[in-house]
Amino acid sequence: MSAMRAVTIVDRGVIVAERPDPRPGPGQLLVRVRAAGLNGADLMQLRGLYPAPPGVPADIPGLELAGEVVACGEGTVRRRPGDRVMALVAGGAQAELAVVDERHSLPLPENLDWPAGGGFPEVYVTAHDALVTQCGLQPGERLLVSGGAGGVGTAAVQLGAALGARVTASVRNADLRAGVAALGAEVIDPAATAGAGPFDVILELVGAVSFPANLEALATRGRIAVIGVGAGARIELDLRQLMGRRARISGSTIRARSAEEKAEAVGRVEDDVLPLLRAGRVRVPVAQTFDLAAVADAYARFRAGGKLGKIVLTSG
């Protein structure tokens, strides 16, 4: 049996180890991975806080990838060997080969390189699902992206601007503010959030520490979508604030959804976002790339913060 190299979780750290080559089942693609993005969920998985769902490699992290289709399982209809694709997966992306549900794959536009493709699926599916599907962001509305410099943040800023919203992003690191502003946002210090509203939609990527200011800045009929909780997951909430504003708070993760729900979310991104990507109206800022063999360095860089956009592993 042939073997591939794969990032492997060992003792809450990561190493590169040989693993058996995966094989595609019905409706699946086997993809030679050229690039795979890192996400906060990967760090949570290392800590044992975000386990892979059943049927997914439990110790190979990675939720998004770009690469070439090398084989197709029975019943696939949209892709063929040699196609350049991006894909959302529930795990296993950080390896030389990965199995992908065909319905969760997207064509890689000609104007994107491998690292940009590898950093696209998770963050853009997450941002689009939160802003459009959950919150119904409309042209002319005011959007706050709380934590605008990371992967989902930079995607959300650009999507909001492309949808015609007036976008504000809070960015703690002053060195990154100009880069986020260039993506289409007015950029503020998080300390200024409470007085910067009212916002119709707030995308929360930081966590509990941001919530008191978010509620102060929320407009009547405002919507808050919680995507990240790195800065705390518990809050004390005065329900009268929600009642008075007729407001709504929702939360979301993509990984635990059914295959059908993920296929719907990916399909909406294919319809709404790929045309913007091909036209250059949105892009994937890549802060730094690392070879698969340097995965420990990649994770250390991700943990260190202070980056604009994505950290991406490359292979081959």
* One CATH from 3.40.50.12500, 3.30.365.10, 3.90.180.10, 3.40.47.10 for 3-120+256-314: 3.90.180.10
* One CATH from 3.90.180.10, 3.40.1280.10, 3.40.50.261, 2.60.120.20 for 124-251: 3.90.180.10
Alpha-carbon span 5 to 90, nearest angstrom = 19
By 3-state DSSP, what share of the chain in percent is helix, strand and coil, each rounded to 5?
Answer: 35, 30, 40
Pairing of strands 105-107, 199-204: unpaired
Alpha-carbon span 224 to 222, nearest angstrom = 7
Please give the chain's pLDDT, 316 residues, in tens: 589 999 999 999 999 999 999 999 999 999 999 999 999 889 989 988 888 888 899 999 999 999 999 999 999 999 999 999 999 999 999 999 999 999 999 999 999 999 999 999 999 999 999 999 999 999 999 999 999 999 999 999 999 999 999 999 999 999 999 999 999 999 999 999 999 989 999 999 987 788 889 999 999 999 999 987 777 678 788 888 888 889 899 888 888 889 999 999 999 999 999 999 999 999 999 999 999 999 999 999 999 989 999 999 999 7
Torsion 87-23-293-84 (CA) sign:
negative
**Amino acid 1: pLDDT:** 59
pTM, 2 dp: 0.94
Each domain of the chain, given as residue ranges in start order, spans 3-120+256-314, 124-251
65, 182, 259, 274 from 286: Cα distances, Å: 14, 14, 28, 18
**Amino acid 290: pLDDT:** 98
Identical topology for domains 3-120+256-314 and 124-251: yes
Residue 206 makes CB contacts below 8 A (sequence gap 6+) with: 146, 147, 190, 228, 230, 231
Confirm if 139 and 165 have CB atoms less than 8 A apart: yes
Helix (H) / strand (E) element for 153: namely helix 151-162
